[in-house]
Chains A and B, each alone.
Chain A
Amino acid sequence: MRLGKVIGTVVSSTKAKGYESRKILVIQPVNPKGSFTGTSFLAIDAVQAGVDDLVLCIEEGNSARQVIRDADAFTVKTVVAAIVDEISS
């Protein structure tokens, strides 16, 4: 999984099947200390994550479908699977 910060949301009315009525979040990858690293990407929200949340993202289709649990969502691959409360290292 990847650590990321939710930095925005995407509004789009024309979408593939399985993406309707789902929030699309803009994720900025972060290192464990929280500083930005790498390029942003998009993910389907599955845990009501909001802007500025620190989250865990999965970028793998089989897991995505288990998270989304919708027969139509067979084209989903990148999802937000958890909101991170704390990282201790």
Chain B
Amino acid sequence: MKFGKIIGRVVSTQKVESFEGLKLVLVQPLNEKLDPAGDAIVAVDTLQSDIGQIIYYETSKEASRIIEKEMNPCDAAVMGIVDDINLTSRK
């Protein structure tokens, strides 16, 4: 599970049927200092996150389970919106 920043929305009309009604967000993975760490991905968002917000996302099968439907193809999903991060001083 990683930190990410919502940097955009993804709109698609021609897609697999099970994506119908799903909100897709563009996420820039971040490290704990909130610096970019890796390429942007697209995740399903069921928590109404907004652009610019810091979130955390999970990948693989568990991500798809946030869509509580029979058919839920998805491999990344927002699992929470970050209010605060408390880091130890030394790294």
A positions within 8 Å CB-CB of B:
7-17, 19, 24, 26, 28, 36, 39-44, 51-52, 61, 64, 74-78
Does B63 count as interface, using CB distance less than 8 angstroms?
A: yes
B positions within 8 Å CB-CB of A:
1-3, 31-32, 37-38, 46-47, 56, 58-63, 65-66, 77-88, 91
Contact A16 B86 (CB under 8 A): no
For the residues of B in contact with A, the DSSP-based class is mixed
A–B complex contacts, Cβ < 8 Å, 23 sampled: A7-B91, A9-B86, A10-B56, A11-B85, A11-B86, A13-B81, A15-B80, A16-B79, A16-B80, A19-B80, A28-B91, A40-B32, A41-B1, A43-B1, A61-B61, A75-B62, A75-B63, A75-B66, A75-B79, A77-B1, A77-B63, A78-B1, A78-B58
Contact A74 B85 (CB under 8 A): no
Cβ distance A12 to chain B, nearest Cβ, rounded Å: 4
Contact A40 B31 (CB under 8 A): yes
Across the interface, B82 reaches (CB within 8 A) one of A12, A17, A52, A64, namely A12
Find chain B residues with CB under 8 A from A40 CB.
31-32
Report the bound CA distance from A42 to B1 in whole Å. Answer: 5
- Known contacts A15-B80, A16-B79, A43-B1: A77-B59 contact under CB 8 Å: yes
Contact A77 B2 (CB under 8 A): no
Find chain B residues with CB under 8 A from A11 CB.
82-86
Find chain A residues with CB under 8 A from B91 CB.
7, 28, 36
Given A12-B83, A36-B91, A77-B61, list of 20 further CB < 8 A pairs?
A8-B85, A8-B88, A9-B86, A10-B80, A10-B86, A11-B85, A11-B86, A12-B80, A13-B81, A15-B79, A15-B81, A16-B77, A16-B80, A19-B80, A39-B38, A42-B56, A51-B88, A61-B60, A75-B58, A75-B66
